[in-house]
Structure 1
């Protein structure tokens, strides 16, 4: 028991920053945001560790960890998830409503179109065939295939 108490009495700014760093690395590996909040609590505890003793440091760490987890999960996490619908890394979503040029004639409603310097697999909305060189408008997406209309 004396070993544990002497270890706890040795807690200082650098120990708390080390704990925060380890927790942040664990957060980076998991990506869940649940480990982020105890890491933030450890960082804040590091800032005040020079002014209080170890029992109060542990209480502050535990209290802030719970508070940060509750408020972070309630207010921050929904905003992070809202950014997932931004269209980032989904280049095809920006093509909706854009004009494309038919590269090769459509057969059975399927063919290839060009937008800028990229060719896309495409099919027509109504299954009609388009002639090479004609233009069409992107109406929807089906995975990586564009659905176009004349």
Structure 2
């Protein structure tokens, strides 16, 4: 028990910065944002460590860790996710609103269209059949299939 008390009394600015750095490295490896909040609380605790004793440091670390987790999960994480739909790995999202040419006549509302040099599976917006060679506008996406309207 004396060893544990001795260790806790030895906690200072550098220990807390080391804990924050270790947590940040772990966050970089996992990418979940859940370990970011204890790392932030360890950093804030490091700033306060020179002025208070170890029981207060642990209380501040625990309290800020929970507060940052709740606030970060509620306010920060949705904002991070909202910018993640860049369309980088889904170039079909850029086709909405573009004009396409029908390369095979639609039967039962399904066919193929061409945009640039790429052919796409497509279906008509209202289930109607479209003739080959006509043009249409991409209205939406349905998985990997384009939804077009004449």
User: Could you tell me the TM-score, scaled by structure 1's length?
Assistant: 0.78
Correspondence for 1:111: 111
Structure 1 unaligned residues grouped into runs of 5+: none
Structure 2 unaligned residues grouped into runs of 5+: none
Corresponding position: 1:88 with 2:119 = no
Aligned Cα root-mean-square deviation (Å): 2.5
User: Could you tell me the TM-score, scaled by structure 2's length?
Assistant: 0.78
- Give the number of aligned pairs: 147
Alignment of 1:1-150 (within 5 A): 1-84=1-84, 86=85, 88-89=87-88, 90-102=90-102, 104-108=103-107, 109-125=109-125, 126-132=127-133, 134-150=134-150
C-alpha displacement of 1:124: 2.5
Instruction: Name the CA shift for 1:36/1:91 in 2 (closer, same or farther; >3 Å).
Output: same
Separation in 2, partners of 1:44, 1:135: 60
Instruction: Name the CA shift for 1:136/1:82 in 2 (closer, same or farther; >3 Å).
Output: same
Contact persistence 1:87–1:93 (CA under 8 A)? no
